[in-house]
Amino acid sequence: MSNENLMSKRWLVAIMGTLLQVCLGTVYAWSFFQKPIMKANGWNNTQAAWAFSLAIFFLGLAAAWGGMNLPKYGPRKLAMGGGLLFGIGYLIGGYALSIQSLPLLYIGYGAIGGMGLGLGYVTPVATAAKWFPDKKGFITGMVVMGFGFGALVMSKVLAPMFMAQFNNNVSSVFYSLGIVMLILTLPAGYFLVNPPAGFVPTGYTPAAISAANQASQDSVTSKQCILSLRFLLMWVVFFFNIIAGIMFIGFQSPMIQDLLKKTLDPATLTDPKVIASLAVSGATLIAVSSIFNGVGRFFWGGLSDKIGRVQTFRLILGSQFLVFVGLMFVTNPIVFGVLVCYILLCYGGGFGSMPSFVLDVFGAKHMPVVYGVILTAWGCGGIVGPQIVAFLKDNFAAQAAQYTFVSAAALLMSGLLLTLALSNKRYEPKAVGQEVKPLPAAD
């Protein structure tokens, strides 16, 4: 195949990878279903939230396994396998809701669906990065942007459509979503393939292939990278940023509904029309914030190409710290929504910047393994973030929001301080040689 055809094919890979991410990103609309599931089954916040937490946790585990085994199985098999498991997770989740089985919901939507998420997520990111060495931050930001937009598609298109069609029967909605996911993810995954050996984009002539950098990359193992202090610091910074954002992803709809209730006459809160209006407001926030989640991956990923990865994370963490402090004093629902959107912009930014950060620090050779393992921070954040909020809402209802904001602010400040010990330099054990600078960008 000519280089011209390969240049066209790499965009097909990127587009299909983005489509796959949109489908997987529907998991971020979980808060749309949180209250309906609780109401239909008599479960509390913590019980229902564990389904979402487990899905994100198993996402992290499966992404780590997928990253390590991507060279062995190839992107097509892992991507299609991930789509298959994700669709099956929805189907099992639908059956679990029909029989009101919380353990089966955890197994189906949480474990099986979560494993599908992990395999499907890590594959297009690592694969697209190989096709676009000249646009690392831009293209990884674009691909993961799709994941952020998934909540928009779910909260404003798929979920309302199926909820109306099945008269708010969440079980039937999950069945339908499972079928839709299978129809869309399997073909998208089929198009994900690695570039041929020796592929170099037309016009890409960086002074990148220096003997020193190549030797340093070959002299380091993936295990050394993962066990390094640099990796640990990157993991913790990523983890703290994830917790701050995922707190809202899991509960933004109930949070804004609770805030809106304070502006209404208590006598009207049992009115079905008022209840429906509150639900619409929650879905609207999910949809709008998901746009910022998606754009943030693209925006911050591209910005990191210009100002550096560490500098980008410092901006992301520091600005969010100020926002969370401000949230402690906000009572206006519109202002609350605006600040949530900014938090989701920064949340997405972490995912848009981390792939290229890993590439710069550990090199393309170790990208699939190291990036897969660093996504375990996402899995752990998926447990910690939602469960903090669920616990606070179940046990300290009146002060839950304030305690949530204080917790997030403390974590973000801790992460900001940790970035002071990070750099953009290429990792190399001291026993091998001094650290070298990352490969320069394309001319």
Q: For the CA atoms of 218, 221, 222, 224, what is the dihedral angle to 10 degrees?
A: -130
Bridge partners of residue 426, in order along the sequence? 436
CATH code of the domain covering residue 32: 1.20.1250.20
- Cα separation, 104 vs 135, whole angstroms: 43
pLDDT per residue rounded down to tens, the chain (443 residues): 677 788 888 899 999 999 999 999 999 888 889 889 999 999 998 899 899 999 999 999 998 899 889 889 999 999 999 999 999 999 999 999 999 999 999 999 999 999 999 999 989 988 888 888 777 767 877 888 888 788 889 988 999 999 999 999 999 999 999 999 999 999 999 999 998 877 888 777 655 444 434 444 556 888 899 999 999 999 999 999 999 998 877 677 777 887 788 777 787 877 788 888 887 888 788 788 888 988 888 888 888 888 999 999 999 999 999 999 999 898 888 888 899 899 999 999 998 899 889 988 998 788 888 988 998 998 899 889 888 888 888 888 778 888 989 999 999 999 999 999 999 998 877 644 444 445 444 43
Closest CA to 50 of 250, 243, 214, 234: 250
The number of distinct structural domains making up the chain is 1
Does residue 199 lie in a domain region?
A: no
- Cα separation, 160 vs 200, whole angstroms: 45
Alpha helices in 132-221 (DSSP H): 136-153, 159-165, 170-190, 211-218
Look at residue 250 in the predicted model and tell me its pLDDT: 66
Look at residue 42 in the predicted model and tell me its pLDDT: 92
Token pair 């298959």: residue: 84
- Cα separation, 29 vs 55, whole angstroms: 12
Look at residue 146 in the predicted model and tell me its pLDDT: 87
Closest CA to 283 of 201, 162, 378: 162
- Cα separation, 154 vs 253, whole angstroms: 14
Closest CA to 217 of 423, 357, 363, 71: 363
Q: What is the CA radius of gyration of the chain?
A: 21
Does residue 435 lie in a domain region?
A: no
Alpha helices in 101-169 (DSSP H): 102-105, 113-131, 136-153, 159-165
DSSP 3-state of 426:
strand
User: b/e map of 355-373 (b: 16 or more CB within 10 Å)?
Assistant: bbbbbbbbbbebbbbbbbb
Q: Report the 10 Å Cβ neighbour count for 109.
A: 29
Does residue 128 lie in a domain region?
A: yes
Does residue 206 lie in a domain region?
A: no
Token pair 């009101």: residue: 100
Q: Are 168 and 36 in contact (CB under 8 A)?
A: yes
- Cα separation, 31 vs 36, whole angstroms: 9
Token pair 């020193």: residue: 212
CA distances from 285 to 266, 271, 277, 329 (A): 23, 22, 13, 20
Look at residue 218 in the predicted model and tell me its pLDDT: 56
Closest CA to 244 of 117, 356, 382, 374: 382
Token pair 């694969």: residue: 127
CA distances from 431 to 216, 220, 221, 435 (A): 12, 11, 13, 10
How would DSSP label each residue in 83-112? HHHHHHHHHHHHHHHHTT-HHHHIIIIIII
Two tokens, residue 24: 């997987």
Token pair 């499907």: residue: 120
Residue 166's domain comprises 3-194+212-419
Does residue 439 lie in a domain region?
A: no
Two tokens, residue 139: 């293209």
